[in-house]
Amino acid sequence: MKNEKTDLKVPEHVGIIMDGNGRWAKKRGLPRPIGHTYGAQTFRNITRYISKQGVKFLTLYAFSTENWKRPLEEVNAIMKIFRQYLVDALTDFRDDDIKVVFIGDKSAFDPKLRELIDETERISEKRQGMQLNIAMNYGGRDEILYAVKKLCKRVKGNGLSPDDITGQNIADELYTAGQPDPDLIIRTGGEHRLSNFMLFQAAYSEFYSTDVLWPDFKPEDFDKAVLEFNKRSRRFGGV
Ligand code: IPE
Ligand code: IPE
Ligand code: MG
């Protein structure tokens, strides 16, 4: 799809690895959790902006399966921000018609948080605008592992033959089943790695890294990424 104003191609699915909250706080002599509070604000503003650009799916990487390794104090602070965010999200994004879905292993969260997650999904379920996937306790390897287990169960239970398993069968068992693969993956904070984000789906995603730290990420920074995306030649292995 094209943006009529800019005449640029709009990626259908964008993934963002929201990195750099801790460094943002440290630069200001503040404790790391404050960086996450400001990061949550960027999360809201950028989501609204992106939904207005014609993007159909946005996946935001908020907490990885490896992030539990952090000091308990920081993990607790992130969960608290997340909880507050969910309370706001019950009404947030309504005007923008954004559908909210959580991807990741929800079983690690306490029952109250899980209830809130379910309610947020339920409330926004019928919305017709952009779909926002919030990746929380998400790991690409974990996701593939779950898919493999589900396929094994099908092999055992209903006669699916191992020889008949296709790549599509795997894709259909991922959290993102039915969604297009991300066209563009943006990472803030300057690192050039996926850190376990969408390992299966990212096979042909265009990767864009910026030194801007997540709390400083602005709509103009997103526009820059889209401009760069438009300069890429996507060949998918062809010529
Ligand atoms: C990203 O920011 C947020 C999470 C991973 C939860 P970081 O907290 O990783 O910030 P840096 O990379 O340490 O600056
Ligand atoms: C990636 O950031 C995870 C999220 C943004 C949620 P990390 O800060 O955890 O990644 P590494 O440790 O630098 O690879
Ligand atoms: Mg980081």
Domain coordinates of the chain in residue numbers? 13-139+181-231
DSSP 212: S
Which CATH number is associated with domain 13-139+181-231? 3.40.1180.10
Predicted pLDDT at 224? 98
For 184, the token pair is 């563009």
Q: Is 67 in the pocket of ligand 2 (CB under 6 A)?
A: yes
Averaged pLDDT, 167-187:
98
What is the per-residue pLDDT across 8-60, written as a single tens digit (0 to 9) for each?
999 999 999 999 999 999 999 999 999 999 999 999 999 999 999 999 999 99
- Which residues neighbour 112 within 8 Å (Cβ) at sequence distance 6 or greater? none
pLDDT of residue 90: 72
In this predicted structure, what is the pLDDT of residue 6?
A: 87
Structure token pair of residue 50 = 């992106």
pLDDT higher than 90, residue 131: yes
Measured between its terminal Cα atoms, the distance across the chain in Å is 22
pLDDT of residue 27: 98
Q: What angle do CA 46, 47, 50 make, to 5 degrees?
A: 80
- Return the structure tokens found at 16: 């963002």
pLDDT score recorded for residue 159:
83
Q: Which atom of ligand 1 is nearest to the CA of 32?
A: 8
CA distances from 89 to 92, 94, 107 (A): 4, 8, 21
Rounded to an integer, the average pLDDT of 182-203 is 98
Asked whether 65 lines ligand 2 (CB < 6 A), one says no
96 is catalytic: no
pLDDT score for 42: 95
CA angle 198, 38, 206 (to 5 degrees): 30
- Eight-class DSSP state of 62: E
Residue 91 pLDDT > 80, yes or no? no
19 is catalytic: yes
pLDDT grade, residue 4 (50/70/90)? confident
Confidence of residue 1 (pLDDT cuts 50, 70, 90): confident
Instruction: Using the mean position of ligand 1's atoms as its centre, give its distance from the Cα of residue 86 in Å.
Output: 20
Question: Residue 193: what pLDDT?
Answer: 98
Centre of ligand 3 to C-alpha 56, Å, is 27
Q: Check residue 95 and give its pLDDT.
A: 87
Give the model's pLDDT for residue 144.
Answer: 98
pLDDT of residue 136: 96
Nearest-angstrom CA–CA distance, 121 and 136 = 14
Over residues 99-126, the mean pLDDT reads 94
Tell me what percent of the residues of the chain surpass a pLDDT of 90: 91
What is the average pLDDT score of the chain?
A: 95
Per-residue confidence (pLDDT) for residue 168, from 0 to 100: 97
- pLDDT at residue 64 tops 80: yes
DSSP 163: G
What pLDDT does 137 receive?
98
Does pLDDT of 215 surpass 90? Answer: yes
Spatial CA neighbour of 93 closest among 118, 67, 123, 116: 123
